[in-house]
Amino acid sequence: MRCLICGNFTFKTLCNPCFQTITIQPKVRDLGNFKVYSFYDYQEIQFLLHAKYQIIGSKIYHLLSKKACLFLKQTLKSPLKAYGIGIDDKISKQGYAHNAIFLKHFKKLGIIPLYHTLLAQDSVSYAGKDLKFRQNNPRNFYLMRNITHKKIILFDDLITTGLTLKEAQKLLAEKGAEVLMAFVLSDAKY
C-alpha cells in the first residue's frame, strides 16, 4: 500500500519516516472537575483522525494510540489504577470502534478497559458543528453496566468544546463513579 502522508510504498499505513515526524505534543485542559490530557497537535493529525470514517482508520488509530501510550509509559511513575471507558465505543459501519482501539492500548499502563459501557442515544455527528448546536444536541449517554464506586478514566479521540466529556463525567458521577481524568488523542481547541 501507499503511505497516507508521502505516498511512498510501505507495508504499513504510514511509512516509518512519516510516522516519526508525527510528534507527541502533550497538553492539558482543565474542565473544572477533571483534567483532559492530549497527545498530538490537532493541525498535524487532523487528516489522520478523519480516517475513522474509513476502514483504514483502525490502523491509524492503533498507530497513534500506541505512540501516545508509549510516551505516557515513560513519564508515569506508577501504573494507573483505574477503569477505562471509551466515549460511545460502538462498532461503526467500518467495523471497529475507534475509541475502543485507543482504550485497548492503555491496558499496558494498568487501566482495565470497560468496553461498550457508555453509549450515546443520539449518534448525531458533531463534526464541524458549533457550540450552540452541540449544546442543543446532547449525546444523551446511557450506561450498559454498574460503575458505582469505580475510578474511571475517559477516552475520546478529540476534545473540542469539552461538552461531550463533561456530559459523560456528569452521568458517571451521578451513578456513583469518580472520573479521575480523560485522555484524548488531540485537543482541537489549541
- Contacting residues toward Zn ion, per CB under 5 A: 3, 5-6, 15, 18
Between 10 and 99, whose beta carbon lies closer to Zn ion? 10
How far is residue 83's CA from residue 115's CA, in Å, rounded to a whole number? 10
DSSP state of 34: S
Q: Name the one residue in this structure whose C-alpha cell is 503511505.
A: 3
CA separation (Å) from 52 to 26, 43, 172?
Answer: 22, 16, 26
Cross-strand pairs, 159: 187
Cross-strand pairs, 155: 86, 183
Between 22 and 147, whose beta carbon lies closer to Zn ion? 22
Between 15 and 159, whose beta carbon lies closer to Zn ion? 15
Closest distance of CB 76 from Zn ion, Å: 30
Closest distance of CB 175 from Zn ion, Å: 45
Q: What is the dihedral of CA 70, 86, 122, 53, to 10 degrees?
A: 30
Closest distance of CB 13 from Zn ion, Å: 10
Between 14 and 165, whose beta carbon lies closer to Zn ion? 14
Closest distance of CB 19 from Zn ion, Å: 8
